[in-house]
Amino acid sequence: MSALCCRPISVVSTGQNYAVKMFLTSAIRSVVSQTSRQVRSLHQSAARAGAGGIFVHRDTPDNNPDTPFEFTVDNLKRIDAIISMYPEGHKQAATIPVLDLAQRQHGWLPISAMNKVAEVLEVPPMRIYEVATFYTMFLRQPVGKYHIQICTTTPCMLCDSDSILEALQNKLGIKVGGMTADKMFSLIEVECLGACVNAPMVQINDNYYEDLSPKDIDQIIDELKAGQVPPPGPRNGRFSCEPAGGLTSLSEPPPGPGFGVRADL
């Protein structure tokens, strides 16, 4: 009888221990998660770093449906040319290039510009919002005249992109996601820009600056401040993405036709 009475007590006790263990495990995970959020991540999304990938809209004095935006006459002609490249009845296919045109005209994409794109392409505004919120190349908040995107993902990080980021922040006096008081420069941290072999690198507007050192950053920023556009590409003297130490293969003239073919053939 006593053995039967003890069995349910043992089961309840085991269940309580399991519940306590699960609670403590959950609490520890929560603390670790909160702590890790306070440590700078090596990889930051463009949205979190201040680029265009924000997924909600809140009306502000400079970004609301009444914000003035009209395409210029020249850009309307460009839009007609863009639309003509797609089959009749498929204007929506021109969404990305027309959004890009609006952004180049205005510098960024207020909601009024997106609404105008929807009007021109004869689609519901939501179709334009879907595209503009998906691609982080579309900037939905103001940026500087020179918008600097620094890559800090693995190849660039291994080539000391942190020193480039530090040089940018010190030179401009702003942090990631910030813009200088004169609205000349803005800075964000982004994922891979596809120039891994030339790491570390930054993109400034449409130009790539590669194989950078902190000294290069000083020179590039000074030239931009002076109204000049530094030549894009590698800064260490190499051409494109050729090996930094010179050719390691295909270093001799190629053999002519018939090389290695049997003589009797």
Domains of the chain, residue spans? 47-140, 146-234
The DSSP result for the chain, as a single string, is -HHHHHHHHHHHHHHHHHHHHHHHHHHHHHHHHHHHHTSPPSS--TTTTTSS-------BTTBSTTS-----HHHHHHHHHHHTTS-TT-GGGGHHHHHHHHHHHHSS--HHHHHHHHHHHTS-HHHHHHHHHH-TTS--S---SEEEEEE-SHHHHHTTHHHHHHHHHHHHT--TT-B-TTSSEEEEEES--S-GGG-S-EEETTEEEES--HHHHHHHHHHHHTT--PPPEESSS--TT--TT--SSS-SPPP-TTTT--TT-
Percent of the chain with pLDDT strictly greater than 70: 79
CATH code: domain 146-234 is 3.40.30.10
Q: Which residue has the higher pLDDT, 16 or 223?
A: 223
Is pLDDT above 70 for 47? no
Mean pLDDT value across the chain = 85
Confidence of residue 254 (pLDDT cuts 50, 70, 90): confident
Confidence of residue 65 (pLDDT cuts 50, 70, 90): very high
CATH code: domain 47-140 is 1.10.10.1590
pLDDT value, residue 59: 87
